[in-house]
Structure 1
Amino acid sequence: MTTASTGGDVRRPAGWAEWAPSGRLAVPVIVLLVIGANLIGVGTVVLLLIGVDDGSGRTGRAEVLWAAAAYLAVALPVATVAGLRRQRVTNRWLTAGREPTRDEAAHALRLPLDTASTAGLVWLLGAVLMGAVSAVAFPDARVGARVGVAVVLGGIVTAGVTYLLVARVARAVTARALAAHPPAGALALGVRIRLLLTWGLTSGVPMLGVVLLYLDPSNPRGPGRTVVVFLVVVALLVGALATLLIARAVGQPLRELRRAVQQVGSGHYDVDVVVDDAGEIGLLQEGVNSMAAGLAERERLRDLFGRHVGTTVAQRALATGVALGGEERTVAALFVDIAGSTSLVRRTGPEQMVGLLNRFFAVVVDTIEAEGGLVNKFGGDAALCVFGAPADHPDPAGAALRAARRICDAVAEAGEVDVGVGVACGRVWAGQVGAASRLEYTVIGDPVNEAARLTELAKEHPGRAVASAPTVLAAAPEERAHWVRGGEVELRGRGETTTTWMRRRSSV
């Protein structure tokens, strides 16, 4: 995985302990490892059989060992071919380098269990054969039971280690299968079963073996010291291997999940945990990926929402929810419009006009947001901006007047368009309007209409900004110094006179 500061895929560190075969070599390599594990188990049981004695002075060890060798010469090749044939479906899509179908993926996920089952069957048949041969070869037929039980216990240990080993080595195959078809909740062998299996390999089977040695009726003198020491040493080695395998199988994914959660917590949602477990851990890995994807999608929607309605409105809606309705507030409304836009679009063409508008609106948005206002809506080549809604503003009138001056200066410096800016202040209704399925935040009231009408006057004034008298008088003296009283006009649709203030031409 990449570090928490950059986000990205969560990858386990490379190294020999993390190596896992993949592609066309995966199944053959796994089969060879299984054969090696079973041969180690066979060697352990053979060493125990060499010490078998019924106390009569006559030994049948040679016959038993020859029978074991003959059985292995037949059973191992047959089991190898059977294992390869059972997973030929998996080997086929791995060799082709394609994604598996759902059935093929499910078949691949059974690879550890199938391999362990095959090994267990081979050992079970071997136990029956060795027990029968021992019962015939030794004068005391009860030695056959002792040998059969010893082989069964050896088979249990070998099959358990085989399962843990294959589950670890085959994780690259498991990851590819789960990448194509993520786990859906059907668990075959989860963490609980694997922990119980580890307990059986490290404690259950060895202790049972020691108990059976002392309860063996065919050997009333009890087991020799060498046999007991040998069993303890084998139990320690097998226990260490099984514990190491289960610790890596559980601990490594949890460390990766911890790093992924830390990345998500720091705001980096582009994490991708490798899903390489078909049990509860795999479900957790997939759950973290789904959580990160959901948070990333929510962040994109919030960003998109904020771009459409404004950051302030978006944050308020996310915090309090959205609903039809609103409230009365005292706000300053700023209306800005491009002068001569009809003739301008005919000269430039629509494509160039869109680029020009985007540059112009970028100036408006940056300026309004810097002063703590909200660009409420765009209308063609005009924009309505509000100070004091939906969030309170300590100086809505002063901020609107400063923004008007800054917009005029920035537009004049760019030299691409000419504008008019009108500013008015007063009580408005602010809130959501529309339908339950489609809402829009807006402000409605006389100051909005007044600001739009003042914009038309501003286009004819050298300072390109006109404000109403209540707006200028509500601002701080430092801001009023940039404005000069104008005349009284009757704005269209208002039916009363409005005292205007003009921006000083030399104002900076």
Structure 2
Amino acid sequence: MTQTAPQRASARPQPVEVALVAGNLPFVIRTFLGMSVLGIGANVFGVVVVALVVAAMNATANRHQLTVILATTGGVVLLSVLVGVTAGVLVQRRTLRWLLRGESPSTADARRALRMPRDMSVIAAVLWFTGGIVISAVAGAVGEDATTTIGIAGGIVIAGLSSAGITYLLIRRVSGPIARLALASCPPETAPVLGVRWQLLLNWLLTSAAPVLGLVLILTAPSGKSHIVGASIVVAVVALVLGGASTALAARAIGEPLRGMVDVLHRVGAGDLDIIVPIEDAGEIGLVQAGFNDMVAGLRERDRVTDLFGRHVGSSVAQVALRSGVTLSGELRDVVAVFVDITDSMRRTRDTDPVEFVGMLNRFYEIVVDEVEGAGGLLNKFEGDAALCVFGAPVELIDAAAAALGAARRIRDRVFAMGEVEVGVGVAAGPVVAGQVGTRSRLEYTVIGDAVNEAARLTALSKEMRQHLLASADVIERLTGSEGEHWLPVGSVVLKGRDVPTDIWTA
């Protein structure tokens, strides 16, 4: 079934009640303080690399030079922390605002919140590059040679790249609740420029390849420098820890949503369609989650249409018709018609309480529907206190006569056992025109032909003869199984509107 754009949009998760999730202050404080702490922690790796590079490149520096460079480095680190946290809060102040107010974000606010990991990592990289320029300039100003100054600058650049990479992954992990709230209001529509493959490659370059380049930088320091072996070992350990942590974070960011998708796919396979997957990613994984929600919404719509079709033509017939693709346009079919009518219903409407009468009708129809659908027939229509049932359309039956006669007997027996009403049942067979009739705004599947009229005449006759169940000889002649053992001939009668007698049977 093809969905229009508004239908597809409505299939996705609707914006959640933000106030219930993020309207309390502790949640917001924990989130932003957590990002600040993790951002500082991520930059500690870079500080360690820079300190080791400075130590390796400045073993021959005098006390004054070393004091100035280290003091400058410490001041830059402290200032970077303060500026970084402040800049992060300012950039994401609108995110903080709708979280604190418990409001659903606008599209612009949701996109801004989704940029939080990128914004924080960019701020970290800018601060590192700025600090690198300052520290290198100070090193040159206190008399360090060009080789030392370039080495320090290179080490700071490499440390900044690694810190930016790990900051992105950590902030992305911590800001997951905010991302889910934003994506609930603004689901992803298109794939990002940098997909999962390029994100993983960039992650490797920043958090694994960059520290290794720092190690190479230390090992290639001039021979006059010292502490190279010790600094190299520490940087190697930092590279291993940083690479492992970043790989674990990246794997978790991809693995958890995929495991969740596997679980919900199993639930859908088991028939549970009341599932909405929370969208947790603004990239390809988020598109998969949004697409899954669209798919499940389509399945729910299909089930709803199937249910409506089943109520229209009967559930068992609907299932067969949907599988075989039977057309519901006009066609000539050979069917067996069963007409069931309550005896003396007019008097009952006068003498019975309306609520009780409707309840009795519903119990009567429940028996009819159960037996007709159980035999593969179509309960074509209700006509007040009567029902027209058809066997052989819209789906053909191997032995429509046996199915119709068996259902007719069971309906009569169960209604008699119910003890509330008496019925007359007529069964006839013959060609009919079957198909959808009506107008563009109102259609009904029905059958029109002499077999239907004959079944109605036999029903009226059965109530007069107190036989309760009559079938024409044409139906009996079509039997191929053992159903005929239950039927006996009762004679011939000229039905209303006919010139020739009709042989009738009863059970």
Normalised by the size of structure 1, how large is the TM-score? 0.87
* 1:385-464 equivalences in 2 (<5 Å): 385-434=389-438, 439-464=443-468
Q: Can you give the 5+ residue segments of structure 1 that lack an aligned partner in the other structure? A: 1-8, 10-20, 504-508
Give the conservation status (yes or no) of the 8 Å contact 1:373–1:387. yes
Q: Can you give the 5+ residue segments of structure 2 that lack an aligned partner in the other structure? A: 1-12, 14-25
**Shift of residue 253 of structure 1?**
1.0
Q: Distance in 2 between matches of 1:234 and 1:386?
A: 80
Give the conservation status (yes or no) of the 8 Å contact 1:23–1:97. no
* 1:419-451 superposed Cα distances (whole Å, 9 cap, x missing partner): 211011233344444567765433332221100
Q: Which residue of 2 aligns with 1:86?
A: 91
Q: Which residue of 2 aligns with 1:176?
A: 181
* 1:86-135 superposed Cα distances (whole Å, 9 cap, x missing partner): 22221222223332222221111111011111111211111111111111
* 1:294-340 superposed Cα distances (whole Å, 9 cap, x missing partner): 112211211221111123145324542645232432x2211111223
CA 1:379–1:209: 2 relative to 1, 3 Å: same
Q: Distance in 1 between matches of 2:307 and 2:502?
A: 40
Q: Distance in 2 between matches of 1:501 and 1:390?
A: 27
* 1:92-491 equivalences in 2 (<5 Å): 92-185=97-190, 187=192, 189-213=194-218, 224-311=228-315, 312-317=317-322, 319-320=324-325, 322=327, 324-329=329-334, 331-348=335-352, 350-434=354-438, 439-475=443-479, 478-491=482-495
**Shift of residue 344 of structure 1?**
2.7
CA 1:181–1:461: 2 relative to 1, 3 Å: farther
Q: Which residue of 1 aligns with 2:499?
A: 495
Stretch deviating more after TM superposition (86-95 or 402-411)? 86-95
Q: Distance in 2 between matches of 1:496 and 1:405?
A: 27
CA 1:478–1:66: 2 relative to 1, 3 Å: closer
Aligned length: 482
CA 1:167–1:56: 2 relative to 1, 3 Å: closer
Stretch deviating more after TM superposition (91-100 or 463-472)? 91-100
Q: Distance in 1 between matches of 2:172 and 2:270?
A: 33
Q: Distance in 1 between matches of 2:27 and 2:426?
A: 69
* 1:156-200 superposed Cα distances (whole Å, 9 cap, x missing partner): 100110001111121111111111221122626531332022220
**Shift of residue 290 of structure 1?**
1.4
CA 1:440–1:314: 2 relative to 1, 3 Å: farther
Q: Read off the aligned partner of 1:118 and give its amino acid letter.
A: I
Give the conservation status (yes or no) of the 8 Å contact 1:179–1:275. yes
* 1:219-239 superposed Cα distances (whole Å, 9 cap, x missing partner): 677982223322222111110
Q: Read off the aligned partner of 2:391 and give its amino acid letter.
A: F
Give the conservation status (yes or no) of the 8 Å contact 1:273–1:289. yes
CA 1:135–1:319: 2 relative to 1, 3 Å: farther
CA 1:222–1:72: 2 relative to 1, 3 Å: closer
Question: What SS does the corresponding residue of 2:104 show, helix, strand or coil?
Answer: coil
**Shift of residue 22 of structure 1?**
4.6
Q: Read off the aligned partner of 1:428 and give its amino acid letter.
A: V
Q: Distance in 2 between matches of 1:45 and 1:310?
A: 77
CA 1:288–1:477: 2 relative to 1, 3 Å: closer
Give the conservation status (yes or no) of the 8 Å contact 1:326–1:432. no
CA 1:437–1:466: 2 relative to 1, 3 Å: same
Give the conservation status (yes or no) of the 8 Å contact 1:420–1:459. yes
**Shift of residue 58 of structure 1?**
7.0
Instruction: Give the fraction of aligned pairs with identical amino acids, expressed as a percent.
Output: 44
Q: Distance in 1 between matches of 2:206 and 2:265?
A: 34
Question: What SS does the corresponding residue of 1:131 show, helix, strand or coil?
Answer: helix
CA 1:433–1:480: 2 relative to 1, 3 Å: same
Stretch deviating more after TM superposition (170-179 or 371-380)? 371-380
**Shift of residue 214 of structure 1?**
5.5
Q: Read off the aligned partner of 2:460 and give its amino acid letter.
A: E
Q: Distance in 2 between matches of 1:500 and 1:435?
A: 38
Q: Distance in 2 between matches of 1:308 and 1:154?
A: 70
Give the conservation status (yes or no) of the 8 Å contact 1:54–1:140. no
Question: What SS does the corresponding residue of 1:337 show, helix, strand or coil?
Answer: strand
Give the conservation status (yes or no) of the 8 Å contact 1:335–1:422. yes
**Shift of residue 51 of structure 1?**
2.6
**Shift of residue 202 of structure 1?**
4.4
CA 1:214–1:48: 2 relative to 1, 3 Å: closer
Stretch deviating more after TM superposition (123-132 or 63-72)? 63-72
Question: What SS does the corresponding residue of 2:168 show, helix, strand or coil?
Answer: helix
Q: Which residue of 2 aligns with 1:41?
A: 46
CA 1:24–1:337: 2 relative to 1, 3 Å: farther
**Shift of residue 210 of structure 1?**
3.8
Q: Distance in 2 between matches of 1:59 and 1:140?
A: 15
Q: Read off the aligned partner of 1:384 and give its amino acid letter.
A: L
CA 1:322–1:22: 2 relative to 1, 3 Å: farther
Give the conservation status (yes or no) of the 8 Å contact 1:214–1:223. no
Q: Which residue of 2 aligns with 1:12?
A: none
CA 1:209–1:39: 2 relative to 1, 3 Å: closer
Question: What SS does the corresponding residue of 1:443 show, helix, strand or coil?
Answer: strand
Normalised by the size of structure 2, how large is the TM-score? 0.87
**Shift of residue 249 of structure 1?**
0.6
**Shift of residue 56 of structure 1?**
6.6
Question: What SS does the corresponding residue of 2:57 show, helix, strand or coil?
Answer: coil
Q: Distance in 2 between matches of 1:274 and 1:341?
A: 56
CA 1:294–1:390: 2 relative to 1, 3 Å: same
Question: What SS does the corresponding residue of 2:465 show, helix, strand or coil?
Answer: coil
CA 1:479–1:284: 2 relative to 1, 3 Å: closer
Question: What SS does the corresponding residue of 2:464 show, helix, strand or coil?
Answer: coil
Stretch deviating more after TM superposition (57-66 or 229-238)? 57-66
